[in-house]
Structure 1
Amino acid sequence: MDKLTVMISGGFSPAYRAVLPEFERSTGVAVTTLSGASQGKGPKTIKSQLEQGTEVDVVILSREGLNELIAAGYIATGSEAELASVPLAAAVRKGSPKPDVSTVDALKQTLLNTPRLVMPASTGGIYMTDVVFPKLGLAGKVTPKMVPRGTDSTDMLAAGEADLAIGPVSEIISQPGVELVAPLPDEVQLVQMFTASIVKTAHNPEQARKLIEFLVSDRTTKAIKESGMQPVGIGRKP
Structure 2
Amino acid sequence: MQTVQVISGGAAHGLVRALSAQLAQRNVAIEGSFGAVGAMRDKLLAGTPCDLLILTDTLIAELTKQGHVVPGSARPVGRVPTGIGVRAGESRPDITNGRSLAAFLSNARALYVPDTVKSTAGQHVAKVLRDLGIGEQMAGRLREFPNGATAMREMAASGESGVVGCTQRTEILDTPGVQWVGALPQGYDLAAIYTAAVCARASDRDAAARCVDLLASQAAAQARRDAGFDPL
2:155 counterpart SS class: helix
Matched, 1:156 2:154: yes
- Please say if residues 79 and 231 of structure 2, whose CA atoms lie closer than 8 Å, have aligned partners that are also in contact: yes
Q: Secondary structure, in 3 states, of the residue corresponding to 1:219?
A: helix
* Displacement after TM superposition at 1:176 (Å): 0.7
* Residues matched between the structures, number: 225
Aligned position for 1:140 = 136
Q: Contact 2:74–2:198 at 8 Å: present in 1 too?
A: yes
1:157 is matched by which residue type in structure 2?
Answer: M
Secondary structure at the residue paired with 2:47?
Answer: coil
Measured in 2, the distance between the counterparts of 1:110 and 1:69 equals 39
Map of 1:36 onto structure 2: 34
Q: What is the DSSP-based 3-state SS (H/G/I as helix, E as strand, rest coil) of the residue aligned with 1:22?
A: helix
Q: How does 1:7-26 map to 2 (within 5 A)?
A: 7-25=7-25
- What residue number does 1:217 align with? 217
Q: 1:79 and 2:73 equivalent?
A: yes
Identity %: 26
Deviation of residue 38 (structure 1)?
3.8
Residue number among 56, 59, 66 corresponding to 2:53 in the alignment: 59
CA distance in 2, matches of 1:148, 1:14: 17
> What SS does the aligned partner of 1:166 have?
strand
The answer for the alignment partner of 1:228 in structure 2 is 228
Structure 2 contact 198–209 (Cα < 8 Å) conserved: yes
Question: Which residues of structure 2 form unaligned runs of 5+?
Answer: none
Aligned: 1:196 with 2:196: yes
Moved more, 10-19 or 116-125: 10-19
How far 1:193 sits from its partner (Å)? Answer: 0.9
| 1:61 shift after superposition | 2.0
The answer to whether the 8 Å contact 1:38/1:65 transfers is no
Residue matched to 1:126? 123
CA RMSD of aligned residues (A): 2.0
Unaligned runs of 5+ in 1: 233-238
Structure with greater helix share of residues? 2
Q: Partners in 2 of 1:10 and 1:231 — Cα distance?
A: 18
Distance apart, 1:72 and its partner CA: 5.0
Summarize the Cα distance change of 1:133–1:152 in structure 2 as closer, same or farther, 3 Å threshold: same
Residues 6 and 31 in structure 2, CA contact (< 8 A), matched pair in contact too: yes
Change (3 A) 1:174 1:151: same
